[in-house]
């Protein structure tokens, strides 16, 4: 009887002990929540023109801190990044008959939000190694799309900033920076933060992101008019503009057109803002932990011939919301990525607070969005199809609060399976 070395075949695991919780909040956030609750006002927003239009002290304090930290003129809190994308599209006057270029490789909202405004989503392929919208593909698309698209939703995926050449087309860009907080692009000798690379940027505070309050989002822009339009769409524009219509001409001339459509209630609470204010103070430490762990795993996994750590775009930094790798089955004697990764996952344990989600390693990221029932398009874009089916895998085990010892166990699992890969034939 042959004894198996691999856990997937009945051998011992590399790690039985659950990995530490990914929660990054503690006494500071608890005290901040208590401060808000004791103050007796969980929201100061009012859906009319006046001081309450801008929210309460926690909202305004967070927006001011965000502008200072990320060197942007305007920061507008909202209740999710999905809402932020919806608001940004509305601020750019996306409407029925418009078209928007989107990625097939992201969370679905990056491509579905144009539909909420009655616009058409036009899919472009992604880069084979950086996974953001491919510049050359977009360039070819624009040669025949008429009328010209009114916007591009460029996702800075996994923490990799999108190709800055997309700005050359002169089309307004909404940057989905939900996964790229803290990433930087060098522009004219200075660093520009992801989120500030287009006309409007959007961040996420969903669970697992670089900063979290459970749910929540932030919109940023340097444009005065776009900032006001975003605020109006986020907070009952129809009521606010009605109040403004009674004001003097000198005030209303500085506002968006008074025919601006209905607004919504997509506001953040004071509790959420208070939590993110505390999280923002921790951001340098949390990012340093993430980058340390990512560098360690890149070094260790990069010695496996069939695995390639992804490159960082020239002139950019990467903040690794997810840690992606490319698999080459030709260098693994034909062993498919999925079979290899299934064996690696069998060697490891889940995180303490995410045990219901299984092992934090995934093949292919997500099905191309155009294949989903909401679109059901038979596009078969080459790069994204290859990444999804064969080439890409990623892990979240590098995120805080993993230690180097934790990441070493992940590396050991990969090396163990590689060393005994003949068992998988």
Residue 399 is encoded by which pair of tokens? Answer: 């995120």
Point out the least confidently predicted range of 5-19, 66-80, 133-147, 252-266: 252-266
Percentage with pLDDT > 70 across the chain:
96
pLDDT bucket at 261, cuts 50 / 70 / 90: confident
The pairing of strands 99-102 and 151-155 is parallel
Query: What pLDDT is attached to residue 259?
Result: 55
Q: Quick one: angle between helices 57-70 and 270-301, nearest 10?
A: 30
Q: What is the pLDDT of residues 233-252, one digit of tens each?
A: 999 998 988 888 776 555 55
How many degrees, rounded to 5, is the angle at CA 268 between CA 100 and CA 172?
Answer: 20
How many degrees, rounded to 5, is the angle at CA 124 between CA 81 and CA 207?
Answer: 25
CA distance 394 to 364: 8
* Overall average pLDDT of the 178-194 stretch: 96
296: which residues sit within 8 A by CB, 6+ positions away? 398, 404, 407, 408, 411
Residue 317 is encoded by which pair of tokens? Answer: 């930094």
Q: Cβ-count burial of 234 within 10 angstroms (0-12 exposed, 13-18 middle, 19+ buried)?
A: buried
Alpha-carbon distances of 153 from 50, 114, 176, 266, rounded to whole Å: 32, 9, 7, 20
pLDDT bucket at 256, cuts 50 / 70 / 90: low
Q: Which CATH architecture has domain 27-277?
A: 3-Layer(aba) Sandwich (3.40)
> Which ranges in the chain are annotated with CATH 3.90.1150.10?
283-424
Alpha-carbon distances of 260 from 53, 90, 242, 249, rounded to whole Å: 17, 10, 11, 17
Q: Do 229 and 256 contact (CB within 8 A), yes or no?
A: yes
Query: What pLDDT is attached to residue 102?
Result: 98
Q: What is the pLDDT of residues 320-329, one digit of tens each?
A: 999 999 999 9
354: which residues sit within 8 A by CB, 6+ positions away? 22, 360
Chain centroid to CA 92 = 21
Does domain 283-424 fall into CATH 3.40.190.10?
Answer: no
Q: What is the pLDDT of residues 7-50, one digit of tens each?
A: 999 999 999 999 999 999 999 999 999 999 999 999 999 999 99
Alpha-carbon distances of 187 from 114, 159, 190, 219, 315, rounded to whole Å: 29, 18, 5, 21, 8
> Which ranges in the chain are annotated with CATH 3.40.640.10?
27-277
CA distance 186 to 207: 29
Query: What pLDDT is attached to residue 1?
Result: 41
**Could you tell me the pTM of the whole model?**
0.96
Percentage with pLDDT > 90 across the chain:
90
Query: What pLDDT is attached to residue 241?
Result: 85
C-beta neighbour count of 346 within 10 angstroms: 18
The three state secondary structure string of the chain is CCCCCCHHHCCCCCCCCCECCCCCCCHHHHHHHHHHHHHCCCCCCCCCCCHHHHCCHHHHHHHHHHHHHHCCCEEEEECCHHHHHHHHHHHCCCCCCCEEEECCCCCCHHHHHHHHCCCEEEECCECCCCCCECHHHHHHHHCCCCCCCCEEEEECHHHCCCCHHHHHHCCCEEEECCCCCCCEEEECCEEEECCCCCCEEEEECECCCCCCCECCEEEEECCHHHHHHHHHHHECHHHHHHHHCCCCHHHHCCCCCCCCCCCCECCCCHHHHHHHHHHHHHHHHHHHHHHHHHHHHHHHHCCCCCEEECCCCCCECCCCCCEEEEECHHHHCCCCHHHHHHHHHHCCCCECCCHHHCCCEEECCCCCHHHCCCCCCCCCCHHHHHHHHHHEEEECCCCCCCCHHHHHHHHHHHHHHHHCHHHHC
* Overall average pLDDT of the 281-310 stretch: 98
CA distance 301 to 324: 11
* Overall average pLDDT of the 266-291 stretch: 98
The yes-or-no verdict on residue 197 having pLDDT over 60 is: yes
CA distance 409 to 189: 40
CA distance 260 to 202: 22
Q: What is the pLDDT of residues 353-406, one digit of tens each?
A: 887 889 999 999 999 999 999 999 999 999 999 999 999 999 999 999 999 999
The yes-or-no verdict on residue 258 having pLDDT over 60 is: no
The yes-or-no verdict on residue 278 having pLDDT over 60 is: yes
């Amino acid at each position: 009887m042959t004894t198996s070395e691999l856990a997937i075949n009945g051998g011992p695991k590399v790690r039985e002990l659950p990995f530490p919780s990914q929660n990054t909040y503690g006494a500071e956030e608890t005290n901040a929540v208590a401060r808000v609750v004791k103050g007796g006002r969980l929201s100061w927003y009012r859906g009319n023109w006046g001081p309450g239009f801008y929210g309460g002290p926690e909202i305004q304090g967070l927006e001011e801190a965000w502008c200072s930290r990320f060197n942007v003129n305007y920061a507008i809190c909202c209740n999710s990044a999905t809402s932020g994308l919806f608001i940004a599209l509305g601020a750019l006057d996306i409407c029925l008959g418009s078209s928007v270029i989107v990625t097939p490789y992201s969370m679905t909202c990056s491509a579905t939000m144009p539909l909420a405004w009655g616009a058409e989503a036009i899919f472009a392929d992604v880069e084979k190694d950086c996974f953001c919208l491919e510049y050359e593909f977009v360039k070819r698309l624009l040669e025949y799309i008429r009328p010209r698209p009114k916007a591009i939703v460029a996702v800075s995926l996994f923490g990799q900033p999108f190709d800055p050449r997309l700005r050359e087309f002169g089309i307004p860009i909404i940057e989905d920076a939900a996964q790229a907080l803290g990433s930087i692009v060098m522009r004219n000798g200075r660093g520009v933060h992801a989120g500030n690379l287009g006309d409007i940027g959007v961040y996420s505070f969903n669970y697992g992101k670089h900063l979290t309050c459970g749910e929540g989002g932030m919109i940023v822009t340097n444009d005065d008019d776009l900032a006001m339009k975003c605020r109006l769409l986020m907070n009952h524009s129809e009521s606010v503009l009605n109040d403004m219509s009674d004001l003097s001409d000198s005030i209303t001339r500085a506002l968006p057109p008074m025919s601006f459509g209905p607004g919504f209630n997509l506001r953040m609470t004071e509790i959420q803002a208070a939590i993110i204010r505390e999280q923002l103070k921790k951001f340098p430490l949390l990012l340093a932990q993430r980058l340390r762990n990512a560098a360690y795993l890149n070094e260790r996994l990069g010695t496996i011939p069939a695995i390639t750590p992804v490159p960082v775009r020239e002139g950019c930094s990467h903040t690794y919301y997810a840690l992606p790798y490319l698999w080459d089955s030709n260098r693994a004697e034909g062993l498919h990525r999925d079979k290899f990764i299934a064996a690696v996952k069998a060697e490891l344990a889940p995180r303490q607070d995410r045990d219901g989600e299984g092992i934090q390693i995934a093949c292919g990221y997500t099905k191309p969005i155009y294949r989903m029932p909401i679109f059901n398009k038979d596009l078969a874009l080459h790069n994204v199809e290859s990444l999804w089916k064969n080439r890409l895998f990623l892990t979240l085990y590098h995120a805080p609060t993993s230690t180097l010892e934790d990441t070493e166990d992940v590396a050991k699992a990969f090396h163990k399976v590689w060393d005994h890969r003949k068992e998988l034939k």
